[in-house]
């Protein structure tokens, strides 16, 4: 995601450039930039993005998929390469993705106002209330907030409040004061690490704690979230603002024992979705705290992420293998960052960054909504070409439910920004 300055092209040539990108295939190598060749993403206007068209595409995909997703004990997780329908997995306390499908439905209701989507969202949300008591891992945030949190915020389902507060209490129970972070995983299921494990993904679970502190939960939840963010900022990032995936801390002293990976190419590599979690996470932290140190850090890691991007703005699954033409893309990372950039464009104090982040987010969404990455006419998903965990041999070049979640979230955010801007 690294910038090189280009001369402004007229609109016709720009569209031809975008079309050539669409047709260029999905390997990482074709569009990778070296550290010495920068792509000025803020100066590229791929196409006049029509957010309403992309939203209609998503609704059309949902209309096709929803009648097939009828087992309330399961949720859609992925669509295999060359398949068309969602593979559904059990709603289980150890499977972290249960909240994304109901979250998609809540966002579709928010965008369209169609009560069909609200009713479907309620039906899909209320089947795993008992997950509020999960204390085995940190993923309760991912599981509960896209479902119950969005139901509370978008659907005015205030009866979800106590469920969310209990969920936040369960998440907070994993905080280790000696370390200053929430423990992500249990050692039994991840035996490589013997002590306190914290992964970069955990940043997004903090939103549940902030919500709790603002809505009648324990005020300490705010302090825990802030401390976790501060500790992660200190230990999880390299001097160049890229992050490791997994840190192991001494549970008693709080010292860092190891910096590793689980889903990246190598322990010292830059797993692209891990970088995306950081961008989204610290943008959200600043949004919740208004602490300038978090804004500065969010901008620093965001700018580093953008410096590493290929021309189509969709990264390889790990930046350190991007020169290999056989390596797959990860559209989920692009969707996560596009959503974060729209928020960051509204939060930054710099007018240059505001313009850059907003335009880059639109360009990312245009790329994701193009024939190259859209599931329209191919599968039941919004997006294709995501990679879940190639290092584990899992979910490689597939559609992923959380890619679709952050994509529709980004479209929802963009539509609201555009509506606000037309009133100015």
Residues classed as catalytic = 139, 201
Non-local CB neighbours of 419 within 8 Å, separated by 6+ positions: none
Q: Which two tokens stand for residue 370?
A: 């193009």
Q: Which of 359, 396, 401 is nearest to 380 (CA)?
A: 401
Q: Which of 418, 411, 325, 397 is nearest to 364 (CA)?
A: 411
The Cα 16–Cα 226 span in angstroms is 46
SS (H, E, C) the chain: CCCECCCCCCHHHHHHHHHHHHCCCCCCHHHCCCCCCCECHHHCCCCCCCHHHHHHHHHHHHHHHHHHCCCCCEEEEEECCCCCCCEEEECCCCCCCCCHHHHHHHHHHHHHCCHHHHHHHHHHHCCCHHHHHCCCCCCHHHHHHHHHHHHHHHHCCHHHHHHHHHHHHHHHCCEECCCCEECCCCCCCCCCCCCEEEEHHHHHHHHHHHHHHHCCCCCHHHHHHHHHHHHHHHHCECCCCCECCEEEECCCCCCEEEEECCCCCCCCCCEHHHHHHHHHHHHHHHHHHCCHHHHHHHHHHHHHHHCCCCCCCCCECEHHHCCCCCCCECHHHHHHHHHHHHHHHHHCCCHHHHHHHHHHHHHHHHHHCCCCCECCCCCCCCECCECCEHHHCECCCEEEHHHHHHHHHHHHHHHHHHHHHHHC
């Amino acid at each position: 995601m690294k910038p090189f300055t280009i001369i402004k092209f007229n609109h016709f040539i720009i569209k031809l450039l975008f079309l050539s990108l669409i047709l260029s295939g999905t390997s990482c190598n074709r569009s990778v930039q070296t550290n010495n060749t920068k792509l000025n993403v803020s100066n590229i206007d791929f196409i006049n993005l029509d957010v309403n068209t992309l939203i209609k595409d998503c609704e059309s995909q949902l209309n096709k998929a929803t009648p097939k997703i009828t087992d309330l004990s399961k949720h859609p997780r992925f669509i295999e390469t060359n398949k068309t329908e969602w593979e559904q997995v059990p709603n289980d306390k150890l499977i972290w993705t249960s909240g994304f499908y109901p979250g998609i439905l809540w966002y579709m209701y928010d965008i369209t106002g169609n009560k069909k989507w609200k009713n479907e969202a309620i039906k899909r949300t209320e089947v795993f209330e008992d997950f509020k008591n999960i204390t085995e891992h940190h993923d309760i945030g991912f599981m509960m907030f896209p479902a119950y949190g969005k139901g509370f915020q978008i659907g005015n389902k205030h009866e979800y409040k106590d469920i969310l507060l209990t969920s936040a209490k369960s998440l907070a129970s994993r905080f280790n004061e000696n370390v200053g972070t929430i423990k992500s995983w249990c050692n039994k299921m991840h035996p490589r690490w013997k002590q306190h494990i914290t992964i970069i993904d955990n940043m997004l679970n903090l939103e549940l704690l902030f919500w709790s502190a603002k809505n009648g939960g324990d005020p300490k939840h705010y302090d825990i979230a802030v401390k976790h963010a501060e500790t992660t900022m200190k230990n999880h990032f390299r001097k160049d603002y890229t992050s490791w995936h997994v840190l192991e801390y001494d549970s008693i002293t709080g010292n860092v024992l190891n910096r590793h990976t689980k889903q990246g190419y190598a322990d010292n590599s830059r797993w692209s979705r891990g970088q995306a979690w950081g961008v989204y996470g610290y943008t959200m932290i600043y949004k919740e705290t208004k602490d300038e140190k978090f804004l500065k850090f969010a901008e620093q890691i965001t700018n580093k992420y953008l410096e590493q991007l290929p021309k189509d703005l969709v990264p390889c699954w790990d930046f350190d293998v991007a020169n290999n033409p056989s390596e797959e893309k990860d559209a989920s990372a692009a969707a996560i960052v596009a959503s974060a950039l729209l928020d960051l464009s509204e939060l930054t104090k710099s007018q240059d960054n505001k313009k850059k982040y907003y335009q880059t987010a639109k360009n990312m969404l245009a790329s994701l909504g193009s024939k190259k990455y859209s599931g329209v006419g191919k599968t039941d998903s919004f997006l294709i070409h995501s990679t879940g965990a190639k290092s584990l041999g899992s979910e490689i070049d597939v559609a992923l439910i959380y890619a679709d979640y952050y994509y529709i979230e980004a479209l929802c955010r963009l539509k609201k920004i555009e509506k606000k801007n037309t009133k100015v």
